[in-house]
Amino acid sequence: MTARILALDHTGVLGGAELSMLDVVAGLGEDVRVRLFADGPFREALSARGADVRVLPMGALANVKKGSRVPSPRALAAAWRLAGEVAREAHSARVLYANSEKAFIVAALAAGRCHLPVVWHLRDLLGPPHFSALNTRGAVMLANWRASRVIANSRATADAFVAAGGDGGRVRVVHNGIAAASFDDVPAGAARALRAELSPNAAYVMAIFGRLHAWKGQQIAIDALAQLPADCHLWVVGAPLFGEDEFAAGLQSQAMRRGVSDRVKFLGFRHDIAPLMHACDVVVHASTLPEPFGRVLVEGMLAGRPVIAAAAGGVGEIITNGTTGVLVPPGDAAALARAVARLRAEPVRAAALASAGAVHARAAFSLEAMVRGVRAVLDEVAG
C-alpha cells in the first residue's frame, strides 16, 4: 500500500506531543510515513514500532523559539529549503499531517510546492504567555491560508486558536487518548519494589511527572512539600527536554534552601511511568500556565491514583473537581499542600476520587477514540 499520509514533527525528543503522535502513527499503520526535523529517541521509538521514519535536519530553523521575535534570514532560508525537501518526499502522499507548530510552518510552505492539503495537529495554546504575539499572528495567518483542518488537543486549545483569529470552522477537537493496558499490566510487586527502592522511609509519596520547565511547576511542588510533614516525600519525574538545564539545577538548590533535599528524588527521564504512578500515593500536576491538555493527568487516573491538578487550560476537560480528582489554583503551593494533606487524611475519599477518575479516563480518553478521531479528519481531507 502506498502511504497517503506524510507526518511531520520538528523534534527528536519525547515530549507529550511526540508520545501522542507515536500512538497515532502506530494506529495509522502503513498509511503513514514520518519525517522528523531532528534525530533522537523519538525517531528510535518510531523505528521500534516499525514506522517508515527518516530525519530531514532543520538547520538554522532550530534557533526559532516560541517566544521569538522576527526569525533571522538564515532561519527563513532553512525553513524554505526544508519545505522543498518535504515537498519532494511527499510525491505519493495525499495529505501533510503536521504535529507541531514548526512542522506546520514547513508543511504550509511545502503545500504550495506539492499541491497537497495540510492538517495541523495543534497541541499548544497559541498566544501569550506561551507564544509571542508575533509568532501567534504568523501561525494563525498561515493556518487560515493553508490548513484544511486544525485538530486541537482540547477545547481550550481550539478556543485559544479562534481567539487569536483562527478560523473555527476548520477546527476539530480530538482529545489525547492513552493506552489503558500499560497501566493495568503493572504487577503489584513491581510497584512495591520501586517504592522500597526509591523512598523506603516515606509514609506518603506525591509525584510530579513531566519535562522540567518553569511553567510545568516543579518548583510549586517542592514549595508544597516544604509545607507538608517530614514523612511525606516527592518524586520529580522528567528531564529538561528543550535546554532548560539551568531551571533543573535551580530546582535542586531550591530543595536544598527549603530544607527538603532529603525528601525529594529527582528521577530524570523515565520509561516506566506506569509502575512509578502505581508506586506513589498521589499524582500532582502543578503547571503555572494553562496546560493545553496534560497527558499526565489521564495517566495518573488510569494508574488508579488520586490526581491533583492546576485548574487552567484543558485540565477542566479532564478532571471534575471533587468527582474525578482535585483542582487547585495554578501557582498556589499552599493550596496544593492543603489538597495533598486532605487526601492523605481522608483515604476513603482519595480512593473514591481515584476509582471515579480511572473509570472516566478509560471511557473518555481511550487510545482507540483518539486514533479514530485523527484518522477521520485525515480521511476527510485526503479523500
Buried/exposed code over 240-258 (b: 16+ C-beta within 10 A; e: otherwise): bbeebeebbeebeebbeeb
Shortest approach of ligand UDP to residue 123 CB, angstroms?
7
Pick between residue 17 and residue 151 the one whose CB is nearest to ligand UDP.
Answer: 17
Site residues (CB under 6 A) for ligand GLC, limited to 146-165? 153
**Where do runs of H (alpha helix) occur along the chain?**
16-28, 41-48, 73-89, 101-114, 133-146, 155-163, 181-184, 188-198, 218-226, 245-257, 273-279, 295-302, 333-345, 347-364, 367-382
Shortest approach of ligand UDP to residue 35 CB, angstroms?
21
Number of residues that bind ligand UDP (CB under 6 A): 17
If binding is defined by CB under 6 A, does position 100 make contact with ligand GLC?
A: no
As a residue count, the chain comes to 383
CA distance 215 to 306: 22
If binding is defined by CB under 6 A, does position 294 make contact with ligand GLC?
A: yes
The span of 2-10, 253-261, 289-297, 370-378 binding ligand GLC (CB under 6 A) equals: 289-297
- Provide the residue type at 228 as one letter: L
Sign, CA dihedral 346-352-354-360, equals negative
Shortest approach of ligand GLC to residue 17 CB, angstroms?
4
Site residues (CB under 6 A) for ligand UDP, limited to 247-276? 269-270, 273
Site residues (CB under 6 A) for ligand UDP, limited to 228-247? 237-238
Q: What angle do CA 370, 174, 293 make, to 5 degrees?
A: 100
Cβ atoms 170, 140 nearer than 8 A: no
CA distance 198 to 203: 12
If binding is defined by CB under 6 A, does position 15 make contact with ligand GLC?
A: yes
The span of 48-56, 80-88, 209-217, 354-362 binding ligand UDP (CB under 6 A) equals: 209-217
If binding is defined by CB under 6 A, does position 183 make contact with ligand GLC?
A: no
Shortest approach of ligand GLC to residue 324 CB, angstroms?
17
Query: Cell numbers 488520586 label which residue?
Result: 306
Contacts of 205 (CB under 8 A, 6+ apart): 195, 198, 199, 232, 233, 234, 235, 279, 280, 281, 282
**x-or-dash pattern for ligand GLC, window 122-141, by CB under 6 A?**
-x------------------
Burial (Cβ within 10 Å: 0-12, 13-18, ≥19) of residue 356: middle
Please pick, from the candidates 176, 199, 218, 288, the single residue that binds ligand GLC as defined by CB under 6 A: 176
If binding is defined by CB under 6 A, does position 319 make contact with ligand GLC?
A: no
DSSP string, 81-93: HHHHHHHHHTTT-
Q: What does the DSSP 8-state code read for residue 39?
A: -
* Interacting partner of 153 out of ligand UDP, ligand GLC, none (Cβ under 5 to 8 A depending on kind): ligand GLC
Please pick, from the candidates 6, 17, 107, 274, the single residue that binds ligand GLC as defined by CB under 6 A: 17
The span of 12-20, 45-53, 250-258, 303-311 binding ligand UDP (CB under 6 A) equals: 12-20
- Provide the residue type at 223 as one letter: D
If binding is defined by CB under 6 A, does position 20 make contact with ligand GLC?
A: yes
- Positions that interact with ligand UDP (CB under 6 A): 15-17, 19, 209-211, 237-238, 269-270, 273, 293-296, 299
- Positions that interact with ligand GLC (CB under 6 A): 15-17, 20, 123, 153, 176, 291-295
